[in-house]
Amino acid sequence: MKLYNKIFIVTTALATLSVSSCKKLLVEEQRTALSQDYLASPAGIVAGITGAYSDMRFLWGTEGFSIQTQGGTDEVLAGASAGGSTNTMIYTNLASLSNDYAPTFQLSYQDINTLNGVLQFGPAASFPTDLEKTQALAQAKFMRAFLYYNLLITFGNIPLNTSFITIPTTAAAPSPRADIYNFIIKDLTEASTELQNVPTAPFLGKAATRATAMYLLAKVYSTRGFSDVAQPTDFQMAASTAQTLIDNKASYGVDLWEDYADAHKPGNEYGKETLFVVDYNNDPRFGEFQPGASGGRINGTAYFQRPNYPTVNANYPASGGAAVMTRDVANGRPFIRMRPNTNYVINTAFNNRTNDTRYDKTFQTVWRANTAGITTPRGTLTVGVDTAIWMPPFEVTAARRTAFKGVIFTPTGANGANAYTNVFFPSMKKYDDPSRPGVNDPSTRPFVMFRFADVYLIAAEAYHKSNNNSRAADMINVLRRRAAFSTTRTAVQNAAAALANQITAADVTLDFILNERTREFYGEHLRWWDLARTKSLIQRVKTYNEQAAPNIQDFHILRPIPQRQIDLVTSGPKYPQNDGYN
């Protein structure tokens, strides 16, 4: 958790911190304060919004946040080097470690305060056209709603601050969840009509557009539908909003790639399937890229789910012999923080690997020999030709193992093979970055936060909860047809696989949709939130995650309020901790 080193202050005393985040990006005119006058200017509005976007790099892509958004779910288990993050992953000592969640709380509120200032004073700004001003302010509405939504489903009991605060206060209290949902929905509803259809200057790349706002609005409606403040029309509104986006995708320049692999291909981060990104690159003007860095404001997603492949020796599992692989850029830096949960991921979610190609496009299972002169008991490995390590998602026969020169790991290690361990396991490859300057460097790829594919699954979820499983199946089948596509098949074979991959209304349940989300979004930093917001976390962890099942309790549906927030509220009622935490 090395990145978490900013001074934490009470949520309502955030104006000064907001200034510091924005100053880093204001090359042309640095200021010592986000004054009312500055926020009432085009430059001030752009600076405030840019600062909020920039601060996302303190979370998305970093180690602690990556573990918090994936750990303690059905999808992943702790790797051998999980370290202190094991507590998050198996629900132990979370009360005493509550400050692990402080950055999410702090950064969100400091940026909410900046965005409040933009929206409070920005209407007085003189833009070349009213449309440009409306679109700029809509960026702030989207970002404010996005930050509040993540806070709400993460912590539950949070304050709702709606105006720009310049004078620190030591008082704070949670607001009613119904009020927060209404506020979020209002911001997103307005943003979904006021934002531009496609990215335009000064918000280029993959900043928020109407499609991004519509996607998040649909998700918020569905999330509220699962909550204790649900409204009767929530799921219908979620389905309608998602369907409108799908029906008008051409107007917004969004669509699915034909090949699932292309959604994660380096260079496609700003492509048609992407709705929103956190920008990363190796330019020090726009980030904190450091060669060899292992913590901080960097994108480390390329190696968090990487096994320790360079330590597999030629005689494994016996000792002796040289390592069959050398660490290199192509195969990545082995951090061993998390690993796929074989019991669920392979045996349940990806159990159909004949017609569905997403497993092979999500995990690396083959390590081609890259080191000369390596001989195993079964033969000498030829660099670039022989497979040094193979981790198939199935068991192999003893004869096949004997005939294989390299080292084989299988889920259970049957027939004399080696079983997956917390050190050796299939590697999640969606975030691979072969363009990294050095083998130990962090990724320079932008981090894709939202993909258009999720619109279909939000629609399916909403249709299912609206008792329309036929339409839910239609939405899911769009992704399953795409999942069947392979460049190694003929058109006839792809059509047959797509047909075999289809489901019917009778197949649709919430569990099926959650399994489909794993197939589509494994490792994409959505899982903890998706299980928490659908009230599925406890049941799914108890069913599938043997590490966390003994410890998880009902109150773990929310994260603990950071202790620093509680300690710094010294006026008025004490800030309440979430139930179950000390």
Instruction: Kindly report, residue by residue over 207-259, the tens digit of the pLDDT.
Output: 999 999 999 999 999 999 999 999 999 999 999 999 999 999 999 999 999 99
Q: What's the whole-number mean pLDDT along residues 384-406? A: 96
345 DSSP 8-state letter: I
**Token reading at 24:** 């880093």
Q: In this prediction, what percent of the chain has a pLDDT beyond 70?
A: 93
Q: What's the whole-number mean pLDDT along residues 405-414? A: 97
Asked whether residue 4 carries a pLDDT value surpassing 80, the answer given is no
* Per-residue confidence band for 97, with pLDDT thresholds at 50, 70 and 90: confident
Instruction: Residue 224: name the closest of 388, 465, 483, 476 by CA.
Output: 465
Q: Are 30 and 164 within one domain?
A: yes
Q: For 184, how many CA atoms within 13 A lie in the half-sphere containing its CB?
A: 26
pLDDT for the residue 285: 60
Q: Are 44 and 170 within one domain?
A: yes
Q: Which of 409, 428, 447 is the last residue of a domain?
A: 428
Q: Is residue 501 part of a domain?
A: no
* Per-residue confidence band for 294, with pLDDT thresholds at 50, 70 and 90: confident
Q: Is residue 344 part of a domain?
A: yes
Q: Are 421 and 569 within one domain?
A: no
**Token reading at 379:** 């033969």
Q: What's the whole-number mean pLDDT along residues 531-541? A: 98
Average pLDDT of the chain is 91
Q: In this prediction, what percent of the chain has a pLDDT beyond 90?
A: 85
Q: What's the one-letter identity of residue 409?
A: F
Q: Give the torsion sign (CA, 212, 215, 220, 221).
A: positive
* Per-residue confidence band for 34, with pLDDT thresholds at 50, 70 and 90: low
**Token reading at 414:** 């049957």
The conformational region for residue 157 under phi > 0 = left, psi -120 to 50 = alpha, else beta, is beta
Q: Is residue 211 part of a domain?
A: no
pLDDT for the residue 582: 84
Please, are residues 62 and 296 in contact by the beta-carbon 8 Å criterion? yes
* Per-residue confidence band for 280, with pLDDT thresholds at 50, 70 and 90: confident
Q: Which of 412, 428, 444 is the last residue of a domain?
A: 428
514-549 as b/e, with b when 16 or more CB fall inside 10 Å?
bbbbbbbbbbbbbbbbbbbbbebbbebbeebbebbe
Q: Are 168 and 30 within one domain?
A: yes
Overall domain count for the chain: 2
Instruction: Residue 337: name the closest of 371, 377, 307, 378 by CA.
Output: 307
Report CA 280 to chain centroid distance, whole Å.
15
> CB count, 10 Å around CB of 329?
17
Q: Are 542 and 393 within one domain?
A: no
pTM of the model: 0.93
Q: Is residue 153 part of a domain?
A: no
* Per-residue confidence band for 6, with pLDDT thresholds at 50, 70 and 90: very low
pLDDT for the residue 301: 95
pLDDT for the residue 211: 98
Asked whether residue 12 carries a pLDDT value surpassing 90, the answer given is no
Q: What's the whole-number mean pLDDT along residues 485-508? A: 98
* Per-residue confidence band for 286, with pLDDT thresholds at 50, 70 and 90: low
Report CA 221 to chain centroid distance, whole Å.
20
Please, are residues 118 and 142 in contact by the beta-carbon 8 Å criterion? no
Write out pLDDT tens, residues 370-381: 999 999 999 999
Q: Give the torsion sign (CA, 544, 546, 550, 556).
A: negative
pLDDT for the residue 284: 60
Q: How far is residue 316's CA from residue 56's CA, in Å, rounded to a whole number? A: 42
Report CA 235 to chain centroid distance, whole Å.
23
Write out pLDDT tens, residues 449-469: 999 999 999 999 999 999 999
Q: How far is residue 481's CA from residue 478's CA, in Å, rounded to a whole number? A: 5
Asked whether residue 185 carries a pLDDT value surpassing 80, the answer given is yes
Q: Is residue 15 part of a domain?
A: yes
Q: Is residue 462 part of a domain?
A: no
Rounded alpha-carbon distances, angstroms, from residue 451 to 277, 372, 411: 9, 41, 30
Q: Is residue 47 part of a domain?
A: yes
Q: What's the whole-number mean pLDDT along residues 14-30? A: 32
Q: What's the one-letter identity of residue 49?
A: I
* Per-residue confidence band for 329, with pLDDT thresholds at 50, 70 and 90: very high
Q: Is residue 295 part of a domain?
A: no
Asked whether residue 25 carries a pLDDT value surpassing 80, the answer given is no
Q: Which of 389, 406, 428 is the last residue of a domain?
A: 428
* Per-residue confidence band for 293, with pLDDT thresholds at 50, 70 and 90: confident
Please, are residues 90 and 547 in contact by the beta-carbon 8 Å criterion? yes
Q: Residue 422 belongs to what domain range?
A: 309-428
Instruction: Residue 289: name the closest of 301, 300, 281, 279 by CA.
Output: 281
